């Protein structure tokens, strides 16, 4: 009797999951493949069906102790964890990165961070000799997110002892309205800067209730209303370290900026969404040295992190050689040119450091495993070459 009743309940939940996913797909009015979105939403809401499957398999074990039911329990727990638990396991990671400059280095004067914010921010003078920045990326507001997650994210950022918050693009994923989603950022008590990805720069928010012209509904015009400023390409100084923003599609002369910083004996931090777009042209960063750090996102850490396999998959799917974390400079081999060390492939070696954030949200399938959403608190310190 109980088994029959549970069986009918499972069928009902499955039908409701499919119908609800169809309704959400219609509401999105997406310009992309509706079938793909439908399948993604079914995989997202299927977690409710897997809760039923977990209950059903446990009931069956009371009557018949077969291994198939144990396997179904394990599958259900794994699915619930990957789709429901880990995507909400926000963690904070702390890491120190040293940038080496010449012995003549003199810290630059900071530009007021509060001046760029939509509202004045009371700040104490910086006492530390390093920039402390909260780095996150790939929030992906949309079909897999809800306002409570973003509110929890902002509360976590408010508790951190950092000079600024830096968000590395990919704000949206099949999103339409943003007021309810991004409103928690109005309570952020720190300066917040962002760089934009290709998707961000092309995205226009469709909102039938909004009377603003479409040109004003671009993300770059919406974010400042929530106190989120675009990181300027000309850069700003945080604790004496210059940080510039490379928005995807930018045509700025990065080699010239790097050369100017080196001539001035100053460290440089480059924030971008996708490191591979900068490295596509081997000469773009060819003059960058161990006085330069590139911070990026885009990879999500693979979302499902399986040792050995995930880095290979990330490289195959995104072109990025680093799934997450720190990439140290290459060890250069001898070269006939004194300023151009070569690696084994006779190409310029990468003498700069790279940090890749694992991201906050999810895309494709709504799963995370061994790769929780992460805020990286980077303490960027400057040391002289004779230290």
Mean pLDDT of 77-84: 97
pLDDT band at 214 (very low <50, low <70, confident <90, very high): very low
Q: Same domain, yes or no, for 275 and 339?
A: yes
Tens of pLDDT along 110-167? 554 544 444 544 444 434 468 999 999 999 999 999 889 999 999 999 999 999 999 9
Res. 345: pLDDT tops 60: no
Residues 6+ apart with CB under 8 A from 12: none
pLDDT band at 168 (very low <50, low <70, confident <90, very high): very high
Residue % of the chain over a pLDDT of 90: 52
Inter-CA distances, 380 with 132, 238, 274, Å: 6, 10, 20
pLDDT the model gives residue 108? 66
Q: Which of 53, 86, 119 is the last residue of a domain?
A: 86
Q: Same domain, yes or no, for 138 and 212?
A: yes
Q: Same domain, yes or no, for 327 and 251?
A: yes
Mean pLDDT of 16-38: 87
Q: Same domain, yes or no, for 179 and 36?
A: no
pLDDT the model gives residue 204? 61
Mean pLDDT for the chain overall:
84
- DSSP-derived letter for residue 346 is S
Tokens describing residue 141: 């507001």
pLDDT the model gives residue 110? 57
> Nearest Cα to 219, choosing from 255, 251, 244, 194?
194
Q: Which of 86, 111, 126 is the last residue of a domain?
A: 86
Inter-CA distances, 367 with 23, 168, 199, 248, 358, Å: 22, 21, 21, 26, 13
- DSSP-derived letter for residue 213 is -
Q: Same domain, yes or no, for 81 and 96?
A: no
Q: Same domain, yes or no, for 266 and 356?
A: yes
Res. 338: pLDDT tops 60: no
Q: Same domain, yes or no, for 270 and 199?
A: yes
Tens of pLDDT along 260-285? 888 888 899 999 999 988 888 888 88
Distance between CA atoms of 37 and 316, rounded to whole angstroms? 23
Total structural domains within the chain: 2
Q: Same domain, yes or no, for 56 and 147?
A: no
Q: Same domain, yes or no, for 42 and 100?
A: no
Instruction: Name which of 110-119, 324-333, 346-355, 363-372 the model is least confident about.
Output: 110-119
Tens of pLDDT along 8-24? 899 999 999 999 999 99
pLDDT the model gives residue 175? 78
pLDDT the model gives residue 322? 86
Tens of pLDDT along 90-100? 999 999 999 98
User: Would the pTM count as exceeding 0.75?
Assistant: yes
Q: What is the CATH number of the domain that holds 123?
A: 3.60.21
Place of tokens 């959403």: 373
Q: Same domain, yes or no, for 289 and 352?
A: yes
Q: Same domain, yes or no, for 201 and 350?
A: yes
Q: Same domain, yes or no, for 66 and 132?
A: no
Residue range(s) defining the domain that contains residue 352: 92-384
Q: Which of 57, 86, 115 is the last residue of a domain?
A: 86
- DSSP-derived letter for residue 111 is P
Torsion region of 302: left, alpha or beta (phi above 0 gives left; psi -120 to 50 gives alpha): left
């Amino acid at each position: 009797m109980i088994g029959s009743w549970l069986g009918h309940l499972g069928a009902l939940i499955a039908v409701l999951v499919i119908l609800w996913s169809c309704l959400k797909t219609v509401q999105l009015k997406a310009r992309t493949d509706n079938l793909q979105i439908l399948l993604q939403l079914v995989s997202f809401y299927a977690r409710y069906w897997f809760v039923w499957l977990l209950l059903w398999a446990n009931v069956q074990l009371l009557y018949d102790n077969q291994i198939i039911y144990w396997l179904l329990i394990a599958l259900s727990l794994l699915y619930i964890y990957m789709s429901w638990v880990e995507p909400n396991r926000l963690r904070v990671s702390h890491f120190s990165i040293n940038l080496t400059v010449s012995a003549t280095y003199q810290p630059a004067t900071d530009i007021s961070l509060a001046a760029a914010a939509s509202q004045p921010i009371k700040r104490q003078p910086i006492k530390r000799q390093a920039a402390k920045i909260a780095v996150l990326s790939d929030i992906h507001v949309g079909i897999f997110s809800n306002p409570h997650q973003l509110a929890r994210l902002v509360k976590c950022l408010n508790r951190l002892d950092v000079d600024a918050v830096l968000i590395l693009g990919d704000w949206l994923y099949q999103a339409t309205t943003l007021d309810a989603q991004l409103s928690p950022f109005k309570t952020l008590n720190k300066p917040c800067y962002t760089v934009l990805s290709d998707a961000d720069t092309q995205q226009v928010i469709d909102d039938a209730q909004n009377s603003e012209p479409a040109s004003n509904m671009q993300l770059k015009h919406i974010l400042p209303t929530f106190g989120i400023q675009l990181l300027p390409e000309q850069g700003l100084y945080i604790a004496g370290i210059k940080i510039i923003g490379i928005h995807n599609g930018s045509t700025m002369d990065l080699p010239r900026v790097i050369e100017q910083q080196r001539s001035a004996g100053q460290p440089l931090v480059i924030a971008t969404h996708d490191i591979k777009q900068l490295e596509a042209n081997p000469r773009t960063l060819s003059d960058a040295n161990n006085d330069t750090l590139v911070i990026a996102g885009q990879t999500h850490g693979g979302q499902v992190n399986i040792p050995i396999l995930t880095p290979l998959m990330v490289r195959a799917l995104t072109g990025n050689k680093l799934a997450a974390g720190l990439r140290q400079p290459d060890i250069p081999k001898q070269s006939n040119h004194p300023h151009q060390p070569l690696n084994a492939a006779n190409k310029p070696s990468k003498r700069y450091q790279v940090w890749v954030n694992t991201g906050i949200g999810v895309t494709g399938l709504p799963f995370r495993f061994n790769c929780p959403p992460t805020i990286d608190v980077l303490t960027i310190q400057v040391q002289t070459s004779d230290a």
